[in-house]
Structure formats: structure tokens, C-alpha cells
A and B are shown apart, each in its own frame.
Chain A
């Protein structure tokens, strides 16, 4: 049956099946033609009612809501999987990392050499005493007697 709208009942039913019962979501001119067909055809109205009933039946089946545990796990993703933004624009990030480590170690070495006091070996090689002045051997003997109650053997070990 073809009406003056240009839309047959069969085509109207096909559109109900493929595009759903909401005629406003149908493409034009089918949407307008469908409205006119509904006004003139009781069979079209029955078909529309069946499509609506099906939609309501489908709406009666609900999935469970996401659990609090799932929500927490999904929100933790940026913490569990931090993104390294350097990778997105710097292609040598994996090479850069060890090079930067070596450079940091070198800077620390230079700074510690410049700022820390010299070791006893360095002092011995330069000929200076830790206190800046060398004590005579008699003074060493007296100091060791006072400290240890005996005289230290000053012979080289």
C-alpha cells in the first residue's frame, strides 16, 4: 500500500526496524513522510506501537552498575601506569637516561674533590701534617704515654 506521502507501509515498517520508533531520528524525507502516514494509516500506528513496546521491553534488562572496587582500580590507572611524556617528543629518551646518570656522577665527583678536606695519603704526599704543623718525635712519645699508658713503637710497621 502506497500512500500519497510516497512511503509504503512496508517501507515504514523497515524504517521502524532499522532506525527505531523515534521518527525524529529518521532521515528526511522519510521522517516527514512517516508522520503523514501515521496520520492516515491505522496499520502504521499499530506497527509504531509494536516498535515502542519492543523498546520498552529491551529497557527492562539492566546491566549491573560498576562496583566501587572497579571505579577505584580505573581511577588508579595514572598512578599504576605513569606516562613518560619525554617519549612522545624526544626519541632518544632511553639513551638520554644513562648519559644523564654518568654526567651527574661526574659532577658529584668534581664537587666532592673540590669541597671535601684532603685525605691523609694526599697530605703525606704533599708533606703537610693534618694539623698543619709536624710534631717532633719526642712530643709524639709523650702524647702516646699520656693517652695509652705506654710508649708507642715509632718504628715503621
Chain B
């Protein structure tokens, strides 16, 4: 980051290659729209380039980038006033596909639907810790709360998810989620 702060373009390129996919995934999971996710990703790296000298080594670079991206995404969501449903790209069932792929898509749709129903802060905590691989203290830093608050958010989120997905498993006409999960363990 010191090299990026010194306007070293090569160091900036390395930063992009290391974190672009993760930051884009994070933006997408928060915003649920491909175009907005790309815009926020660009804006995140623009700020990282322009404000690299404000980075403090006490945090990992990844945590710092997530914090920038989170702030930008939250601004967008506030302007939107409400969370949009993710586009669920490539999740729509296709009758020409094999049965196991259809089941997997249905499972993914169910999980995404359960994630969408979470309270925004709970979803952000799950995304940061489960999908982005941040530790609880790092997620707390990104969200601007204490570690205990993050643990509380995660506990409520996971309980809701288990309840929702187990409920769907036992609903009439549904038998895919838990079976697929077991197949992949």
C-alpha cells in the first residue's frame, strides 16, 4: 500500500488483481444488481488509488477495501430507499438442463431468497464473514460496530437462515435443499 500511496501503478495493478473479484462479489451481494455492483467496484478502487495515503497498516488491505466498498454500497442503498432483489443471474431453471443442475439452481434460489429476507445488517454480517472470509473483528470494523454486535447479528442471521431453509425443506413439493447440501459435504 505504501507503493500505491507513492503512485506506483504496478503496485496498484497488483492490488486490483488480488482484490477485484472479492470486492466485486461483495458489492454484488450487497446491491444485487450487476451494473451498480460494477460502478461501486470502480469507485472503490478509484478511492483506494486516490486515498492510499490514508490507509493505516493496523487493518488488512482487504478489510480497508471492504470498508470503502461497504460505505459506497450503503450510500446507494439509502438512495434506493429499499433493497432490490438480486438479479439471480444464471439461476433460472432451464428445462433442457439435467435434473441435478435444476435442483442445484432451485437450492440456490431458495438460499438467495432466505438471504434477501434477512434484515440488512444481518445480511451484511453474513456476507462479510461467510462469503468474504473476514473474521468477526474485521467485519465489526467494516460495519463500524463492536465484535459482540457482529456476533449477535450473525447468530440471529444464521438462526433465521436455518429456520427458513429447514421450513422449505419440509414444505410440500420441496426436497432439494438439504439433499444437495449433504451431497456436497
Query: Cβ of B1: which chain A residues have Cβ within 8 Å of it?
Result: none
Q: Is A137 an interface residue (CB 8 A)?
A: no
- Which one, B45, B90, B129, B185, contacts A52 given CB within 8 A? B185
Contact between B12 and A66, CB atoms less than 8 A apart: no
Contact between B151 and A58, CB atoms less than 8 A apart: no
- Complex CA–CA separation, A67 to B21 (angstroms): 10
- Complex CA–CA separation, A140 to B165 (angstroms): 110
How many chain A residues sit at the interface, stated as a range, is 35 or more
- Complex CA–CA separation, A20 to B162 (angstroms): 13
* Nearest-Cβ distance from residue B57 to partner chain A, whole angstroms: 18
* Nearest-Cβ distance from residue A118 to partner chain B, whole angstroms: 48
Contact between B89 and A64, CB atoms less than 8 A apart: yes
Q: Is A109 an interface residue (CB 8 A)?
A: no
Q: Is A71 an interface residue (CB 8 A)?
A: yes
Query: Cβ of A74: which chain B residues have Cβ within 8 Å of it?
Result: 16, 20, 41-42, 45
Interface residues of B in 155-185 (CB under 8 A from A): 155-156, 158-159, 161-162, 165, 177-178, 180-182, 184-185
Q: Is A57 an interface residue (CB 8 A)?
A: yes
Q: Is B126 an interface residue (CB 8 A)?
A: yes
Contact between B182 and A60, CB atoms less than 8 A apart: no
Query: Cβ of A16: which chain B residues have Cβ within 8 Å of it?
Result: 158
How many chain B residues sit at the interface, stated as a range, is 35 or more
Interface residues of B in 103-129 (CB under 8 A from A): 104, 107-108, 111-112, 115, 126, 129
- Which one, B21, B24, B90, B155, contacts A18 given CB within 8 A? B155
- Which one, B20, B28, B180, contacts A63 given CB within 8 A? B28
| Residue of B9, B158, B162 with most chain A CB atoms under a 10 A cut-off | B158
Q: Is B77 an interface residue (CB 8 A)?
A: no
- Which one, A17, A56, A66, A75, contacts B155 given CB within 8 A? A17
Interface residues of A in 59-96 (CB under 8 A from B): 59-67, 70-71, 73-75, 77-78, 81, 83, 85, 88
Query: Cβ of B73: which chain A residues have Cβ within 8 Å of it?
Result: none
Interface residues of A in 15-74 (CB under 8 A from B): 16-20, 25, 50-67, 70-71, 73-74
Contact (A81, B111) CB under 8 Å given A58-B161, A64-B28? no
Q: Is A142 an interface residue (CB 8 A)?
A: no
| Residue of B21, B165, B181 with most chain A CB atoms under a 10 A cut-off | B181
Query: Cβ of B12: which chain A residues have Cβ within 8 Å of it?
Result: 77-78
* Nearest-Cβ distance from residue B73 to partner chain A, whole angstroms: 13
Task: Please provide the 3 A-B residue pairs with the shortest distance between their CB atoms, ordered closest to farther.
Answer: A18-B151, A17-B155, A63-B28
